[in-house]
Every structure is written in structure tokens, then in C-alpha cells.
Structure 1
Amino acid sequence: MKKLFSFALLVWLSFSMSACKREFLEVTPAGKLIATKTSDYDLLLNSLTLGNQFMTYTQAMGDEMAAIEPYYAGTTIQQQRSFQWADIIYEQNDDAPEITYPTKALYIYNIVIDEVLSSTGGSEVQKNTIQAEALGGRAWTYFQLINFFGKPYVAATAATDPGFPIIDKANVTLKSFSRASVKEVYDFIIKDLQAAIPHLSASPLHRFRMSRPTAEALLGKVYLSMGLYSEALPYLNAAMTDIINSSYPVRLYDYNVTFGSGGSFLPNSVIGPTLPNLYNYEESLYSRQTTGDWTSTSNALLLSPATMSLYGSSDLRRNFMKNTPYPSGTAFPLGMARRAGPFSPIIGMLVPDVYLMRAEVKARLNDLPGAKNDVESLRIKRMPASDAPVPAAIISDRISLVKFILDERIREFSALGYRWLDMRRLSVDSEFQSTVKSTHTLYTTGGTVSSTFTLRPERLTFKIPPKVLAENPGMQDNP
């Protein structure tokens, strides 16, 4: 491992924490927050700092996207660079949200993990549960970080591929950090989740807080990203069982009902369907959100012609797409559409993601009937029952069924940033790397090609922002 940065940024962030009660700051060193009661640590996990993880550029990096002039010209230089898969996204003095928001969260999680077991006024069960929630939250945060700054997981090279520093202490005086390998970061994530799961509630207490089905689903997702499908399946099975048995409302919405006469997602306006707020959205297992730079009122990025061709005419997910600009105008060319909702994409953990991850894992492990059942369980909630079955020509072929499920993931999560994670893991998958497209197209309003941009394998990993490099001269950048 090579010595990295002093993380001056992390120190600065720690001074800005405002989630604690005022008395936490009494007779304590400036920049250090101290809780004493178990209830204080519980409250720390309600901080909006944890829920608002404004990391938006992966939405533009998905291969399901296209862009259109003149709207594209009106976006920020960082937004344009992200769509172009450029080497450098940030200017010298830009703060990168892919670092600032996660490290704010890590500071809080580490305080709770380190100190809650010695707090006062709570039972051992309460203390262990609160610590487990923080461990799960830290694992989720590191899964985001490693998918920005580490190469896609390849077993043969993960032990030497540079990842991200493991920050496991809330100590603002630390001056030296080492960049852990990709393998070390994944091992750290897995260890946190395995330690957390036994102490978490089987039913979510609130979708803002970590629960056992969330941690199980996340661990399944981690193993899926590593290509360890047999290891992923038991955790996805356990997550599904906990979701089905949950006393807290976590479920798939039936779009046949929510978009039907008098449905709860109506009216469907120019800015998209009428959706519940983040904390009442019943498909959310774990409510973490980012800003919708490209949804609702944005016309700059569109679902490409190839993406729109994936949707059948009766697919009710089309209700989230608008084929005309906001607030009005001539229809976009080539059948393209803008994503009109949700305004703030949920990037935590979603119930449909669990269905589709398990379907993919089952298909990869040659449980084709089980995979078919899982993907159809989702599809029947997204379109009329007559159109939900997987085509007969696909269900008996493992490769075709996996590809169908990967397309279903695009249909379900298009323009929300999920495709970026899939592109990374599929890019190093010898069976399915051909499913990753490497061209972004910028169109004119007439539908002709204005420019194209090519994805190089190196840009499946973010370079380190120049500001962080300048503040930490010993830091190793990504190529």
C-alpha cells in the first residue's frame, strides 16, 4: 500500500457536523462531538447528513443515456464531462460530492460504532442494535466509495488494485492515511455487514434506518459485484423472506393500481407522477437520496433510442418518461424521452432491486425457473398480467435469461444512476461484457448526430479530484 493523504477535507467536514444536541459541545475540544447517553447515539443516526448523499454524476454515465442540443449546452461543465466520460470532471478548486458527502457520513458512523457500547441509559440490546445500524451504514457508504474510486472487482488483481482509505475512527487529528486495496475495502464492507446482521431488526423500524433485510440485501449486492453468486444467494433469499414477513410496509407497488383510475400516483403531470415522499415510499428499504440533475425538469439527458426500444407499449414504467421537453415543446426525435421522476432518485436500497438481483443470481446459478419467477413477480406489478411473462424462447436458456434480466434492470432503473454499478461489474464479466455499451451520442433537435463520446475502461473508475490531489501531494491518482 502507498501512503496517501492527510484528509484535510475530512477534518474540515468534522467541524461542520450539526446533528448533535448543543450539550454535546460543552467542555469538549472544538471540532469533536461527544455523546454520552444511548439515546444520543440513536439520535445521531437520524441526521439528515446521512440521508442526503448528493452524488449525481453516475446518472449521466449510464450507457442507457443520450443527450440533446440545445439543452445540453446549458448544463454545467462537470455535467458535460460526466456524460463525455472525461478523464477530469472537476476543476482545481471544486469539491467533489463523491468524497464530501460520504466522509461526512463516515464521521458520524464512526462516532457511534466506537462509543455507543460504553454509553449510559440503554440496554445491551439497544446498544448493539444502534452499533449494528452504524456498521451497516458505514458498509453502504464504503460500497459507494469503492464504486467511484476503485477498479471493478477482479479476484486476480483486487489485492493490488488501489481502492480507498479505510477510515474507521472518528479522529479529526489523524494526519496520515493509506489507500487500502480494492480487496481490503470489500473485506471491510463484508466484515461490517456480517457483524451487523445478527443485531438488526427483522422489520425496518423506519426506512431511514438500517434494518436486517437492508443489510442482507446489501451484502448480496456486494457479493454480486464481486462475481460471487453462490455467496450472494443466501443473503438475497434472507432479505426477501424478511421483506415478505415485514410488519413495516416495504413492498412492490402495483402500477396497474397506482396508475389506474383514481390511483395514488396520479395526476401524472409534466414533471412526472405524484409519488410519496422519501420516507413514505414503500419500495424503499433504505432511504438515501441524491439530487435529480437529469429528472423532472431537465431536458439535457434523454433515454436513448435503444433504451426506449426496451419498453413494451403496455409497460407502465413509461409513465415516468415524457417524450416532450419541460415545460412544453415539440416531441424529442427518434422516440427518445426524458425521465420525469422521481425528482430525487433513491440510491439506498430498493425492493425491486432485491427481486432483480436474486433473479440474476438464480439465472447465473442455472435455477432458471426460480429466476423466471422472480423477474415475473416484478413485471406483473409493472404492466398488465398478460404481458408480464418472460418470452418462452428465453426461459430455457441461461445466457438469454440473464441478458433479459439485465435489460429489466435498465427498464426499472433507467436514468437513476443504477446502471453505472452494473456497467462496472459487467465490464469484467467475460460472459456478459458485451452488454455494456461504450458510446454516448449527442443529438440535434432534428435527430442527427452532433457528437459521440467513447468510454474507455479506465473511466469506469473516477480519477481523484484535483483539489484533493493538491492538498495531499503523496496521493496516488487513478490512471
Structure 2
Amino acid sequence: MKKSLKYTFLAFALVVSFGIAGCSDFLDLKPKGKEVPTKLEHYNGLFNNTLLINLAFSEQRPDGSISPGTEPLLMIYMGDELIADASSFASMDRTALAAYKFEADIFNEDDVSAEWNAPYQQIYTYNVIVNGVMDADDGTREEKQRLQAEARVGRAYMHFLLAQFFGKPYNESTASQDLCVPIVTKATSADRNFKRATVEEVYRFIITELEEACPQLDEQTKHKLRIYRAAGYYMLGKVYFSMGNYGKALTALKESLKATENSTVPLGLFDYNTSLAEWGYNPIMANMWGLMGSYPSNFDLNNQENICTKQYNIMTIMFAIYPPTVYVKPEYMALFGESDLRLAFFNTKDYTGTTLWPYSRRIQRITYSLGGDMPDLYLMLAECKARLDDLSGAREDLLALREKRIAGADAAIPAEVDSKDKLIRYIVEERKREFMMSGMRWFDIRRLWNDPLFQEDKQNYTHTDGQNIYTLTEDRLVFRIPPKVLSFSTDWENNK
């Protein structure tokens, strides 16, 4: 899809009349003659910004309004659970095909990458706050520090997401040599000498920011569009979890779970035994659920599983009015038992009841959030505890989720899961069931690539178009930097 070379990276708050950033630098950091915020309410208002909740690149229209991002995060095409046939394969656009086939060059010269642009778009706004709020004309020092902490956490987490796409998985033995992404801490276009930091440098920056800022976050979660302590510690735990540092991850995740109990909005797990019916699901007309009801959006205060909205959509792979582009492999659908209520989210039939699709496709839930997800929190807690030999604690957390997802006695953990290694593998299998066809699998594939317990899984890291087989290799755990970005940084070494 054609895009102007002058795309924008910032939309300021709704509360104050700041405008859109726009310049020819790859980060597009220069504001167009707009005032600098001076009061605490101005800095607080900068958080009330739709660009800070959507992981999609948004552009400025000629009339000054903001167009919502349309480019999906391409990880939704790269999970090992996906399969296509000749018809669905032919319906994918070029970038989706490149991602599905695990090609080296996903982006061409005209493509906008949501994976690159959306995080840096958010980082600009966070930098405005981090670097300026302490000099606000009013407000107490404590009030200023809380806003600065929130912005530091958001900025750090955006660097983490960038590292999941453009840096190698964290490996202590190679992190000091592996190239990652630029660390950007200033809201200015004066500095054009951005360099790719190493994985070690990026993670050190992220962890330092989160460890220092999380204790200063507001303790009580007041709504889902801002970063409070539950979300901050979730993000810190997620970072340590991705590094394989399960001890420190567990400490942070326990803080997150504790903080969810201090909230003015509902936070907890949905019980599918009752929730599915409330959302309009009728097992007699399961294929009609996409028309007759809906999973709560991330903006719904009753969506108690969403801790903090950093959302992305999977519309291009599941929205009902489009032809399906990908399905779920039969062997992955077989991971669901007959009593698993998550089966309601998948179907092989169209709205007339005709079996139309060769495999199961997702028919419900369009968006997910990477800013804090209660099922992910419970599953990370369970895996951390299992890896640290707290098997009873791991089982308790795992069962807490399964009882909300599986009817009756079948929610029990199978008796054959009778060792530490088996329990760890079963928890990861539960992650597959919980996040099937959501794109979340990408993070586990990267994290577990060199884990001895999961080497046999690599034989399943393949896609097909019905005839050809495409295999994920280690090089393709990292996206190549988009040509449009490299055009502003011609001295950078690209990923393989």
C-alpha cells in the first residue's frame, strides 16, 4: 500500500491543542511550531491520546484529523498454529504473504511498518512528558513524579516491543553483540545520529526504567487507558519472562497480581461458564455468534481481563465479512478437549450452517492487548513457579484459569502431568489454547527457541499453502528493518 514519505509520528493530547509531528527523519520527531506544555494538566492531558492505546501507525489527514492505523502487527501471520489452503493463501496481501512464508524481506520501499512506527510514535509523546513534566509551572513534586513514572514505563515498554520484532531473543552470551533498535529518550529532531543499540543495552535501559518507575506509579487502577501499578509490574514481569529470568519475573508478576486487587474498575478472569451466554453465545447456533453477540471490547469497563489497553487487531485474519486468510491446524484444534469452552471462538461453518471452511477459523474477538492481560498474568505466574520448583503454586494458578475456561471436572490438570518438566510443557500448551490465533504465540516461539524442553516443537514451526511448505528459521525470529526507515539511516547494518 502506497504511503507518503512524509508520514507522522505524533498526535498530541485531546485536552490541549497541540498538533501532529512531521518531518523527513525516520523518527519524525519535530513538532510543527506548537507550544510546549507548561502546566501539569497539559502533561496529564498528553496521556489522553488514542495513539497511546493502539499499536498501529496513524497518519495525519490533509484536514488535520488523524487516520487510524490499518497495518496489522504481522506476528498474527507467523504463529505455528496457522494453516492456509490455496484459496485463503491467494486472498492474503503481499506483506501478509511474506510474513506467512517467513520471508526475509517482509517490507518493501512503500510499506509502513506498524511494528516499527507505532512504538516510536508513542515514545515521542512519552519523551515529551518524561523530559518536561518536572518543570511544569504547577503541581506538587509527587504529582509530577507520578506522571513522569507513567511515561517512563510506557517508553520502556515500547522499546521492549520494538525488541521483540527487530532484535534477537535475549541471550546472555550474545546480547552484547546482537544489534537491536535505537534507544530514543529525547523528543527532538535535532539529533539525527541515531544508532542501533545492542540487545543488552536495550534490555538494560528497559529494566532500569521499569524498576525505578514502577514503585512511583499510582497504586489504584482507575481505568484501562492509563498505566497504573498493576500494568507497570505486569510489563516488568513480561520483560523478565521474555529474558528467561523467571525469578525476577515472578517477583514483578506477584506485585502486578496484588495491585489488581486495588482497582476501581473490574479486574479478574472471565468465567466462560457464564460469560459466553452473556456475550450472546448460543451453542445451538454456534456459527451465528459473530452476528448475535460479541466479546467485550478493550474499551468496555466490564472487560475485566484487560489491565491496560495497548491493543492491536486481528481483523484481517478473522473478521467475518472477509474471506479467511488463515485457519488453525487440525492438530492444534485437537489441543482443546470437548468440554473446553474456548472452542466457541472457532467454527468451520458460515452463518447459514453450511460447513464452508476446510479448517477451523476464529469467529469472535477482534482485538487483544499487550499492555496487561489477566490470563497471561496467571499463566506467566504458573510457569515461573513451575520453573522455580513451586509446583503446587503453579498448579493453583493454572487451575484458576482452567476452571474459568473448561466446564466441570475436565478443568482438572491431567494426572499424567506428574513432573516439573511435564507441568512446564503443559502450561505452555495452555498458553497455546488460551491465545490460539491471536498472534501472542510469537513471543513464546522466540522465548523458547533455545529451551531444551521445547526443541521438538520446532518441527511444527511450518506453514503451508496446500502444496508448499514454509519453515521458520532462527534468522526469521527477527524482522528486517523496513527500507523506508533505512532510507534515513543508510549507515545501519540490517538484520539478516
Q: TM-score, normalised by structure 1?
A: 0.90
Cα distance in 2 for partners of 1:188, 1:391 equals 41
Q: Does the 8 Å contact 2:210/2:236 carry over to 1?
A: yes
Asked if 1:301 is matched to 2:326, the reply is: yes
| Aligned amino acid, residue 441 of structure 2 | R
Alignment of 1:72-471 (within 5 A): 72-260=89-277, 263-266=278-281, 269-271=288-290, 273-280=293-300, 281-292=303-314, 293-297=316-320, 298=322, 299-325=324-350, 329-333=354-358, 336-394=359-417, 396-442=418-464, 449-471=466-488
Q: Relative to 1, partners in 2 of residues 1:456 and 1:176: Cα closer, same or farther, differing over 3 Å?
A: same
Cα distance in 1 for partners of 2:484, 2:18 equals 32
1:277: how far off? Answer: 2.4
1:347: how far off? Answer: 2.7
Q: Once the two structures are aligned, what percentage of the paired residues are identical?
A: 34
Cα distance in 1 for partners of 2:484, 2:42 equals 35
Please give the secondary structure, in 1, of the residue aligned with 2:312. coil
Q: Does the 8 Å contact 2:289/2:364 carry over to 1?
A: no
Q: Which runs of 4+ in 1 moved over 4 A?
A: 20-25, 325-329
| Aligned amino acid, residue 430 of structure 1 | P
Aligned length: 458
Cα distance in 1 for partners of 2:352, 2:158 equals 36
Please give the secondary structure, in 1, of the residue aligned with 2:377. helix
Please give the secondary structure, in 1, of the residue aligned with 2:327. strand
Q: Does the 8 Å contact 2:425/2:453 carry over to 1?
A: no
Cα distance in 1 for partners of 2:130, 2:16 equals 21
Cα distance in 1 for partners of 2:166, 2:352 equals 37
Cα distance in 1 for partners of 2:449, 2:190 equals 39
| Aligned amino acid, residue 46 of structure 2 | L
1:13: how far off? Answer: 2.6
Q: Relative to 1, partners in 2 of residues 1:171 and 1:382: Cα closer, same or farther, differing over 3 Å?
A: same
| Partner deviation per Cα, 1:171-196 (whole Å, 9 max, x = no partner) | 12221111111011111111111122
Q: Relative to 1, partners in 2 of residues 1:174 and 1:302: Cα closer, same or farther, differing over 3 Å?
A: same
Q: Relative to 1, partners in 2 of residues 1:107 and 1:372: Cα closer, same or farther, differing over 3 Å?
A: same
Higher RCO by CA contacts (8 Å cutoff, separation 6 or greater) = 1
1:337: how far off? Answer: 1.0
Q: Does the 8 Å contact 2:340/2:406 carry over to 1?
A: yes
Q: Relative to 1, partners in 2 of residues 1:68 and 1:405: Cα closer, same or farther, differing over 3 Å?
A: same
Cα distance in 2 for partners of 1:327, 1:84 equals 32
Please give the secondary structure, in 2, of the residue aligned with 1:290. strand
Please give the secondary structure, in 1, of the residue aligned with 2:181. strand
Q: Does the 8 Å contact 2:307/2:371 carry over to 1?
A: yes
Cα distance in 2 for partners of 1:188, 1:29 equals 26
Asked if 1:71 is matched to 2:93, the reply is: no
Q: Relative to 1, partners in 2 of residues 1:22 and 1:219: Cα closer, same or farther, differing over 3 Å?
A: closer
Please give the secondary structure, in 2, of the residue aligned with 1:345. strand
Q: Does the 8 Å contact 1:359/1:375 carry over to 2?
A: yes
| Partner deviation per Cα, 1:306-341 (whole Å, 9 max, x = no partner) | 2101001111111111222578753433xx311122
1:33: how far off? Answer: 5.1
Cα distance in 2 for partners of 1:398, 1:56 equals 34
| Partner deviation per Cα, 1:75-129 (whole Å, 9 max, x = no partner) | 2010111111111111122121111111110100000111111113322222111
Q: Does the 8 Å contact 2:80/2:463 carry over to 1?
A: no
| Aligned amino acid, residue 470 of structure 1 | S
| Aligned amino acid, residue 326 of structure 2 | L
| Aligned amino acid, residue 37 of structure 1 | K
Cα distance in 2 for partners of 1:438, 1:458 equals 17
Cα distance in 2 for partners of 1:33, 1:108 equals 14
Q: Relative to 1, partners in 2 of residues 1:243 and 1:435: Cα closer, same or farther, differing over 3 Å?
A: farther
Q: Does the 8 Å contact 1:213/1:240 carry over to 2?
A: yes
Q: Relative to 1, partners in 2 of residues 1:107 and 1:29: Cα closer, same or farther, differing over 3 Å?
A: closer
Q: Does the 8 Å contact 1:162/1:182 carry over to 2?
A: yes
Q: Does the 8 Å contact 1:270/1:327 carry over to 2?
A: no
Paired position in structure 1 for 2:49: 47
| Aligned amino acid, residue 116 of structure 2 | I
| Partner deviation per Cα, 1:339-372 (whole Å, 9 max, x = no partner) | 1221122232101100000100111111111111
Q: Relative to 1, partners in 2 of residues 1:232 and 1:457: Cα closer, same or farther, differing over 3 Å?
A: same
Q: Relative to 1, partners in 2 of residues 1:308 and 1:24: Cα closer, same or farther, differing over 3 Å?
A: closer
Q: Does the 8 Å contact 2:12/2:125 carry over to 1?
A: no
Please give the secondary structure, in 1, of the residue aligned with 2:447. helix
Q: Does the 8 Å contact 1:114/1:169 carry over to 2?
A: yes
| Aligned amino acid, residue 383 of structure 1 | I
| Aligned amino acid, residue 361 of structure 1 | C
Paired position in structure 2 for 1:19: 13
Paired position in structure 1 for 2:62: none
| Partner deviation per Cα, 1:175-219 (whole Å, 9 max, x = no partner) | 111111101111111111112211112221211110111111111
Q: Does the 8 Å contact 1:154/1:428 carry over to 2?
A: no
Q: Does the 8 Å contact 2:166/2:180 carry over to 1?
A: yes
Please give the secondary structure, in 2, of the residue aligned with 1:393. coil
Cα distance in 2 for partners of 1:270, 1:87 equals 38
Q: Relative to 1, partners in 2 of residues 1:327 and 1:184: Cα closer, same or farther, differing over 3 Å?
A: farther
Q: Does the 8 Å contact 1:83/1:440 carry over to 2?
A: no
RMSD: 2.2
